[in-house]
Amino acid sequence: MLRLPTFTYLAPRTVKQALAMKADAGPDGMYVAGGTDLYPNMKRRHQEPRVVISLAGIRALRRGPTVRRSAGPPGNGGGLVLGAGLTLSDLAANVKVRKRYSAVARGAELISTPLLRNMGTLGGNLCLDTRCNYYNQTHEWRKAIDFCMKKDGAICWVAPSSPRCWAVQSSDLAPVMVALDAQFLLIGPGGERLVPASRFYHNDGINYLTKQPDEILLEVRLPAANGWDATYHKLRRRGSFDFPVLGVAVWARWDGTTVRDARIVLGGVASYPQDVPDAAAALVGSRLDDEVIAAAADAAFRPSKPMDNTDFGLAWRKEMTRVYVRRALEEVRERRASRRGRSTTS
C-alpha cells in the first residue's frame, strides 16, 4: 500500500488566511481542494509539500451548486460565474450549466468516477498535473529507471534527446474552457488578475500553468450563452474511469445556418490544450456540410502530434483526432438543425 508522507494540514476559512499560510510556508506549501490528484501524487512523491493548505473550507470558492450571473454587456443576459471550489458532481448536475453550457456539464460528467467527482473540484481539474507513463508510477518504479526530467531525474524517456518534458495535459475541462474563451480569476499576494483560459496553460510538461504557485484560482467566468453552441468528445479506454487520451472541444457561433466563428481545441495530445486554428478557419462561412467537416477534421489531424507516453498507440490516437473532430462537428450541426426546426414549427 502506498502511504502519504508526513505533512502539516492547514484549514483556512478565508482566501486571505489561505494566502497568508502559503506566504508563511513558502515553496514547502501547496494548496489542495478535493485532493483527488494531489494526494495520489504525494503518495508517489511527485509533489512533496510539507504544508498542505486546504481550500475546501473556504465558502467563497464554493458558491454553489448555485451558479451566479456575471455582469455581462447590456442586453446579452451576462455569462455565468463558477466558483473554483464547485465539485465536478455539482457542476455536472447544475440545471443552468446543463441547459446553457452543456459542453461544461459533459466535460465534468465524463471525468473519472462518481466518487471522485464528488470530491474533485473545478479548480483542481483546471490545475491538474500533466501525465506520462514514465511519471505516473510509484517512487520505486521511477527510481528503477533513474527517474525522469519531470521529477528527480535528468532525462526524458519519451524523447531522450529532448530538452523539455512532453507530459500530457489530461484535464477534461481545460480544452472546454479554452474553446469557450472562459476567463479565470486568480488571486495572489499582489491582488486579483483575470486571465483568458488560453493563456492559463503553457506547452511544457513541467511548467504547464502560467499561474504562480501562491495564486489561488477563485472563479471561472463563462461568456454569455447567446448565438453559439459547443460540445466535448473524449477518447479513453474505460468509459467509466479513465483520463482522456484525446479530448475534442468544439465551439461555433452561428449566423442563421452559417458558422460565423469557431474554435476547436484538442486535449490529451500535447502539454497544453491545443487550439487548432486552421481547423476552425475551415468552418467559417460554411453550413457545416460533410465536405467542410472532413476538411476541418483533416486540418485538426495534421497538427495533432500525440507522444508515446499515454494509453494506446500514438499513430492510432492521432488518427482518432480526425474521427472525434468529425463526430463533434456533426453533433453541433445536428443540434443546430433540430433547434431551427423547432423554432420554425413553433
Ligand X SMILES: Cc1cc2nc3c(=O)[nH]c(=O)nc-3n(C[C@H](O)[C@H](O)[C@H](O)COP(=O)(O)OP(=O)(O)OC[C@H]3O[C@@H](n4cnc5c(N)ncnc54)[C@H](O)[C@@H]3O)c2cc1C
* Residues found near ligand SF4 in the complex (CB under 6 A): 132, 134-135, 148-150, 156-158, 165-167, 205, 309
Q: How far is the CB of 5 from ligand SF4 (least distance, A)?
A: 21
- Report CA torsion sign: 8, 13, 15, 17: negative
Q: How far is the CB of 38 from ligand SF4 (least distance, A)?
A: 17
Q: How far is the CB of 78 from ligand SF4 (least distance, A)?
A: 41
| Grid cell locating 24 | 508563511
Give the nearer residue to ligand SF4 in terms of CB position, either 231 or 309: 309
In whole angstroms, how far apart are CA 68 and each of 97, 152, 239? 11, 43, 32
In this chain, which of 35, 72, 188, 303 binds ligand X, going by CB under 6 A?
35
The stretch among 36-44, 155-163, 279-287, 318-326 that binds ligand X (CB under 6 A) is: 36-44
The reply on whether position 57 binds ligand X by CB under 6 A is: no
Contacts for 158-164 with beta carbons within 8 Å, 24 or more apart? 158/132, 158/134, 158/307, 158/308, 158/309, 159/307, 164/204, 164/205, 164/206
How many of the other CB atoms lie within 10 Å of CB of 327? 17
Q: In the beta sheet, which residues pair with residue 7?
A: none
The reply on whether position 276 binds ligand X by CB under 6 A is: no
Give the nearer residue to ligand SF4 in terms of CB position, either 156 or 248: 156
The reply on whether position 120 binds ligand X by CB under 6 A is: yes
The reply on whether position 10 binds ligand X by CB under 6 A is: no
Quickly list H helices, the chain. 15-25, 38-43, 59-62, 88-93, 95-100, 102-109, 114-119, 122-126, 139-144, 173-180, 277-281, 290-301, 314-345
Distance CA 55, CA 15 (A): 8
Question: How large is the C-alpha radius of gyration of the chain?
Answer: 20
Total binding residues toward ligand X, as defined by CB under 6 A: 31
CB 188 within 8 A of CB 149: no
Q: What is the CA angle 130-131-137, rounded to 5?
A: 135
Q: How far is the CB of 215 from ligand SF4 (least distance, A)?
A: 24
In this chain, which of 92, 100, 172, 252 binds ligand X, going by CB under 6 A?
172
In this chain, which of 21, 33, 149, 250 binds ligand X, going by CB under 6 A?
33
- Residues 80-109 contacting ligand X, CB under 6 A: 84, 88
The reply on whether position 124 binds ligand X by CB under 6 A is: yes
In this chain, which of 42, 128, 197, 220 binds ligand X, going by CB under 6 A?
128
Give the nearer residue to ligand X in terms of CB position, either 38 or 269: 38
**How many residues are recorded in the chain?**
346
Q: How far is the CB of 51 from ligand X (least distance, A)?
A: 12
How many of the other CB atoms lie within 10 Å of CB of 319? 13
- Residues 193-232 contacting ligand X, CB under 6 A: 216-217
| Grid cell locating 116 | 471522485
Nearest to 273 by CA among 216, 316, 209: 209
CB 182 within 8 A of CB 220: yes
The option from ligand X, ligand SF4, none interacting with 205 (CB < 5 to 8 A, set by class) reads ligand SF4
Give the nearer residue to ligand X in terms of CB position, either 187 or 299: 187
The option from ligand SF4, ligand X, none interacting with 148 (CB < 5 to 8 A, set by class) reads ligand SF4
In this chain, which of 94, 136, 171, 309 binds ligand X, going by CB under 6 A?
171
The reply on whether position 37 binds ligand X by CB under 6 A is: yes
- Residues of the shown chain interacting with ligand X in the complex, contacts defined by CB under 6 A: 30-38, 40, 55, 84, 88, 111-112, 116, 119-121, 123-125, 127-128, 170-172, 216-217, 242-243
